Amino acid sequence: MSTHIDTFDYAQHARQTAQADLLAQQVQLQPRPTMTIEDNSMVVHCEFPSILGCGGTNLRLVITRLVPQDMAIETCVQLAKKTCSLSCAITEVIRGRVEIQLIERYIDEQDLRQIQAMAHLLQGESSQTTRNLPIVPMFVHATVVNDACFDATIGIGIGSQLHLTSLVLRLRGSRWIATHISVS
């Protein structure tokens, strides 16, 4: 007996959303500071503070809670902002602009080694112009899997390029730690 499971292509959805967000920015549409809640999903437009020279922009958060009782809305928004900040910091480490010690306490050891390896491989790859461009967080698409697991895809603009980061945060004790990281 075979079972067929339909899968949702999160990467394609994130790219399509990022393209729509880029188009909206190009035609000078300003996101409204609102929160819309439909069923188990919410869309939040909020001001993202400037961190590491990135930010100070309006950020679009799309958060889906599989079970609404698992996590409060405020906690969801805080975790989405945390994943965005962590994604910006990881990108800066990979680009060689900041030291890895900045993110050590937020990432498990295996993923930390992966980031170090990626930074080492890409050392000298980016041009000086690209290396000096600021990071602009564009969106966060997140899912609350359960009360101890938060999965997010973060879109970051560097110059004219869009980079996606996928993070899985898990609650360990009283701290949220990134246990899976994928950077494109």
Q: Which residues pair with 58 in a beta bridge?
A: 47
Sorted by where each begins, the domain ranges of the chain are 34-183
Q: Are 183 and 118 in contact (CB under 8 A)?
A: yes
CA 86 to CA 90: how far, in whole Å? Answer: 6
pTM for this prediction: 0.72
Mean pLDDT throughout 77-97? 88
The angle formed by the CA atoms of residues 92, 30 and 131, to the nearest 5 degrees, is 20
Tokens at residue 25, please?
A: 């920015």
CA 35 to CA 101: how far, in whole Å? Answer: 35
Q: For 18-70, what is each residue's pLDDT tens digit? A: 555 554 444 333 333 455 665 566 666 665 554 444 445 677 888 888 877 77
Helix (H) or strand (E) holding 36: strand 35-38
CA 103 to CA 169: how far, in whole Å? Answer: 14
CATH number for the segment(s) 34-183: 3.10.450
CA 33 to CA 54: how far, in whole Å? Answer: 19
